[in-house]
Amino acid sequence: MKKISILVIACAAISGAANAAMNGGMGQGGFAGGENVILTVDQVKNMNDNSKVWVEGVILQKNGDETYMFQDSTGTIMVEIDDDAWHGLVVGPTDTVRIFGEVDHGLFTTEIDIDYIEKL
């Protein structure tokens, strides 16, 4: 009886591993639906700290080492773009860009810490 139980458990384990391998492996994630919603500057200013956001607009000017003034149709907000996030991209104040980043609420200001930028 013990041999049959062990055999059944072994077969179940092998079957489960084979099924997981055919379905892309255990613990592997992927696309689950939804879409990236473009938000406005006005909406971003009212979001929780560290919220992920997509915005579209223009970069008006450079304000500091890695800080820039960003504008869309609802207003302006400071954005921080690390030098390595540019990936060679060059934009000017007449170029529309889409940026992805995180909301960063400071003591007196709100800005977006940019992870990704693309020219549209």
* 8-53 confidence digits (pLDDT tens): 454 454 544 444 444 454 566 655 555 678 999 999 999 999 999 9
pLDDT attached to residue 37? 86
In this structure, are residues 118 and 102 in contact, taking their beta carbons and an 8 Å threshold? no
Token pair, residue 59, equals: 């970069």
Contacts of 116 (CB under 8 A, 6+ apart): 85, 99, 100, 101
In this structure, are residues 54 and 47 in contact, taking their beta carbons and an 8 Å threshold? no
SS3 content of the chain, % helix, strand, coil (to 5): 25, 40, 40
Between CA 45 and CA 80 the distance in angstroms is 15
Residue range 88-108: mean pLDDT, rounded: 94
Render pLDDT for 62-77 as a digit per residue (tens, 0 to 9). Answer: 998 999 999 999 999 9
pLDDT attached to residue 20? 47
Task: Assign domain 38-119 to a CATH class.
Answer: mainly beta
